[in-house]
Amino acid sequence: MKAKRAAVPYGIWMVIFIIVPMLLVLYFAFTTQEGAFTLQNIATVGRYSNVFVRSIWLGAVATAVSLLIGYPVAYIIARTRACWQSVLILLVILPMWMNFLLRTYAWMTLLEDSGLINNLLEALGLGRVHMINTQGAVVVGMVYNYVPYMIFPLYSVLAKMDPSVIEAAQDLGASQARVFWRVVLPMSMPGVISGITMVFVPAVSTFIISKMLGGGANLMIGDLIDMQFLGSSYNPNLGSAISLVLMVLILICMGIMNQFDDGESKGGGIPL
């Protein structure tokens, strides 16, 4: 009973700040500015399908890169001595203590045509490379900002893994590579899934990063929604509709991911 009562404050919080806003989004998405029911907003979303495709594509690339970078990092941290683990984890967290905008500004100055990297390249005689305002720059920004969210769930799964299970695999004749592909990776799938979720969702809906590092040409859904509420093309009804469609798309993506996870944990055995 006590436990139930303790949940009341959060229950109230949830209703006011989660349930009600969701219903508002739903309401705005299906009404005109005068408040009449309409499907026009949803239909209009279709016009921006290229933005959706770009967002999901860039989000997916950023997630994949984060996984490729984050997995080895998490693996190495989980395998170091306990006293060093907390230091390494701190190093991963450290950039997150800086303001998000500041971090992204820093990348602007790094990637600019006359930025630090280009100056360095020229000094080395390699010539300048145009990096800012490209999709690559957006991906770099997203990876930099979100990779800790990939590392943490992977680290916690890998650190908890029983070392004797790995020894058992070696004992049964598996080389290091086989141990990884057949035991470590499948056993860390829950961490992979939650890492992907935690990077993909914010990456798809990001708006500052794409605006600052991607220039005008690489508009993402987040920017589109931003424009509907704060920009010149003020239209909260359309903004709500876009948000709603984005939410549904993310839900579908996550559903597919979780399906994959279930399949793994049941262990794809060949039935007798």
Partner 1 sequence: MGQNEIISLQNIAVSFDGEPVLKDFNLQIGEGEFVTLLGPSGCGKTTTLRIIGGFVKPDQGDVFFNGKKITAVPPYKREVNTIFQKYALFPHLNVFENVAFGMRVHRKKEAEIQATVRRMLEMVNLTGFARRNVNQLSGGQQQRVAIARALANGPKVLLLDEPLGALDLKLRKDMQVELKKIQKQTGITFVFVTHDQEEALSMSDTVVVMDKGRIQQIGSPQDIYNEPKNAFVADFIGESNILDGVMAGDYLAEFAGKRFRCLDKGFAPMEPVDIVIRPEDIEAVPPQQAELSGTVVSVTFKGVHYEIIVDVHGFKWMIQSTRYQAVGQEIGLEIGPDDIHVMKKSEYSGMFGDYSSFSDEMEGLLNSPEGKGQ
Residues in contact with partner 1 by CB under 8 A are 162, 164-165, 167-175, 178, 182-183, 186-187, 189, 264-272
Report CA torsion sign: 237, 241, 247, 250: negative
Residue type, position 109, single letter: T
Cβ partners under 8 Å of residue 109, min gap 6: 115, 116
Give the count of beta carbons closer than 10 Å to the beta carbon of residue 182: 13
The residue among 189 and 247 lying less far from partner 1, judged by its C-beta, is 189
CB of 197 to partner 1, least distance (A): 19
Q: Which is nearer to partner 1, 50 or 164 (CB)?
A: 164
Cα(146)–Cα(139) distance, rounded to whole angstroms? Answer: 10
Dmax over CA atoms of the chain, in Å, equals: 72
113 vs 262 by CB, closer to partner 1: 262
d(CA 178, CA 19): 47
Q: List the structure tokens of 94.
A: 């450290």
CA-based nearest residue to 29, from 214, 262, 235:
235
CB 188 → partner 1: shortest distance, Å?
10
Q: How far is the CB of 258 from partner 1 (least distance, A)?
A: 16
The smaller minimum CB distance to partner 1, of residues 47 and 266, is found at: 266
Please report how close the Cβ of residue 179 comes to partner 1 at its closest, in angstroms.
8
Of 226 and 264, which CB lies nearer to partner 1 in the complex structure?
264
Beta carbon of residue 63, minimum distance to partner 1 (angstroms, whole number):
23
Token pair 């990776």 is at which residue?
185
Minimum distance, C-beta of residue 248 to partner 1, in the bound complex (Å): 31
Tokens at residue 66, please? 């984060």
Nearest to partner 1 of 50, 175 (CB atom): 175
Q: Which is nearer to partner 1, 79 or 130 (CB)?
A: 79
Let me know if 94 is exposed, middle or buried by CB neighbors in 10 A (0-12, 13-18, 19+): exposed
CA 96 vs. chain centroid, Å, equals 15
**Distance in Å, CB of 185 to partner 1, minimum:** 10
